[in-house]
Amino acid sequence: MPDRDEQPYHHGNLREALVEAGLELTRAGGAQALAMRDVARRVGVSPTAAYRHFADRDALVAAIATRIQAGMADRMHEAAPVGARPRDLLRAVGLGYIGFALAEPGWFDVAFATIDARPDAAGAAPLPAPLSMLVTALDELAVAGELTERAGAEWPCWSAVHGFALLALRGPLRFLPPDDVWAAAERTVDDVIDGLLARVGARATD
């Protein structure tokens, strides 16, 4: 006999349905819009049934964040020209990140609400999908010989685009016209890339 708590739900994978409901709630309202009881109500089950699939709200947020991060990575990939040079790929990654934040502020709020980068059983620390794309772009620059100081280069890059996104969503940039915000985003990404690659020329003249 099926559990009484789960009888109202007849659509298959309850865990997936809970994540989808969480995505719907957070798209407009961000992380604050997510409550287990509201997600359960939207799917048509009791909170008890939802807790059988997610130990607590944080676990549900983490699952939703992983899905959003994957969507961000897709957006970043789409922004990259086919056969792009390493520099152009890095630029597309940065602007794709900012573009997603501007287009989906609610999901962006959830995407990095919590990041679990603890090592897995194999001793490797899993990377959020957008950061993984950034690492790949930087690795390609290094292989091409355009980036000589590769170690740790992802942190100033990520800090720049994430900080810009926050300024555009919650800071003084939110008062500017959209075209001006995007022009500032392009300048930010270009300046960071120029700064990274300038080190190559500086080393050549030492």
* Residue 112 and residue 195 share a domain: yes
Contact 44, 90 (CB under 8 A): no
Render pLDDT for 64-119 as a digit per residue (tens, 0 to 9): 999 999 999 988 888 787 778 899 999 999 999 999 999 999 999 999 876 655 54
Of the candidates 181, 187, 186, the one whose C-alpha atom is nearest the C-alpha of residue 168 is 181
* Residue 36 and residue 84 share a domain: no
* Residue 42 and residue 77 share a domain: no
The parent domain of residue 134 ranges over: 71-205
The pLDDT score that the predictor gives to residue 7 is 45
Is residue 66 situated within a structural domain? Answer: no
Give the CATH number of the domain where residue 115 resides: 1.10.357.10
The pLDDT score that the predictor gives to residue 76 is 85
Render pLDDT for 7-28 as a digit per residue (tens, 0 to 9): 445 556 898 999 999 999 999 9
Give the CATH number of the domain where residue 38 resides: 1.10.10.60
